[in-house]
Amino acid sequence: MEKRVVVAGGAGFIGSHLCEELVNKGYSVVCIDNLGTGRMDNLKSLLKNKKFTFKKYDIRKPIKIAGKVDYFYHLASYASPPYYQTKSIETLMTNSLGTMNVMEFCRAKKARYLITSTSETYGDPKEHPQKETYWGNVNPVGIRSCYDEAKRFAEALTMEYVRKHNVDARIIRIFNTYGPRLQKDDGRVISNFIDQALHNRPLTLYGDGSQTRSFCYVADQVRGLIMAMEKAGLAGEVINIGNPNEFTVKQAAYMIKEMTGSKSKIVRKPLPEDDPARRKPDITKAKKLLGWEPTVQLKEGLKYTIEWFRDGK
Ligand code: UDP
């Protein structure tokens, strides 16, 4: 029988790519999103498809969807630092109360569940690269804690629903992901730099730009999420999905300036509080359990992303 899948946060950047892939696989997809940062425009290729349904819905309220559900992907949350810091209490509640509503729904429907957690659960890591077994170095009361601690709570709650209620749940820790549909006002490094470069505005380098990130192209990320959902026997597993190729933020700025042919200057801005100094996933577990590894490297992925921004989407 045809699979029926719910994607919470399906109108967002990663969620909308995920919905497209799932519909392409022939599944029936119900997308729920409160449109906090998600956009209907992200779904325009799907809205006329009979296999696709959109419902404006906030997971902080108990979830009601009639009929069977095989898989539930939980991607609903503010996710970029400027947004989750502005919407801090909403972020805390979506990941706590919202996650509980999702888990109760999955328990009642006997749906398999995947939650997208984050590399932020490692905080400003003292171990490098980050393995899933690392407990992290998080400031519990800092300006990022509304996201970091909310996701850590969501992970803890997920594990208790596995232990106490046998929900077939897996936790995926997403590392910095980029690609078409990143919103230009999202405040993330790749979207800021591309938007600035294309308008010949100064590229805003926070701190000295020596902090590192490891950037994963969205198609690789989505493929990893689907593989993690569809592999049986992963209840209670925590898996990093990200590209382990590490770049300094300064390198990313120069790459984007060069690739766009921009006349922009690169200017320094203060480093935000608690900004992690280094970040790189250890993906041994994803390779072993899922046979997943990224195939699109930064230069190629940036090319597609710059093209999308140029088209003025
Ligand atoms: N950053 C930057 N300039 C910008 C936006 C971000 O130098 O205009 C830096 C930021 O300080 C961080 C890194 O780029 O070190 C990645 O930031 P982002 O907000 O994309 O995500 P994070 O990984 O911090 O959640």
Query: Given phi > 0 = left and psi -120 to 50 = alpha, else beta, which region is 30?
Result: beta
Mean pLDDT, range 207-216, rounded to an integer: 98
- pLDDT reading at 61 higher than 90: yes
Distance 128 CA to ligand 1 centre (A): 19
The catalytic residue among 122, 147, 161, 217 is 147
Mean pLDDT, range 112-129, rounded to an integer: 98
Please state whether beta strands 52-56 and 71-74 pair in parallel, antiparallel, or not at all (unpaired). unpaired
- What does the alpha-carbon distance between residue 102 and residue 109 come to, in Å, rounded to a whole number? 10
The protein residue whose alpha carbon is closest to atom 4 in ligand 1 is: 189
For a pLDDT cut of 90, what percent of the chain falls above it?
A: 99
- Residues 179-196 have pLDDT tens digits of 999 999 999 999 999 999
- pTM of this structure: 0.98
Mean pLDDT, range 244-255, rounded to an integer: 98
| Domain spans in the chain, listed from the N-terminal domain onward | 4-177+218-243+276-294
Whether 144 and 274 have beta carbons less than 8 Å apart is answered as yes
pLDDT for the residue numbered 312: 81
71 catalytic per annotation: no
Q: Is 81 in the pocket of ligand 1 (CB under 6 A)?
A: yes
Q: Is 192 in the pocket of ligand 1 (CB under 6 A)?
A: yes
The residue to which tokens 């069977």 are assigned: 68
Distance 144 CA to ligand 1 centre (A): 13
Whether 19 and 62 have beta carbons less than 8 Å apart is answered as no
- pLDDT tier, 313 (very low <50, low <70, confident <90, very high otherwise): low
| CA atoms within a 13 Å half-sphere pointing along the CA-CB vector of 28 | 9
Q: Which fold has domain 4-177+218-243+276-294?
A: Rossmann fold (3.40.50)
The protein residue whose alpha carbon is closest to atom 19 in ligand 1 is: 188
| Candidate from 206, 250, 267 with most ligand 1 atoms within 8 A of CB, to mutate | 206
Mean pLDDT, range 296-304, rounded to an integer: 98
Distance 212 CA to ligand 1 centre (A): 9
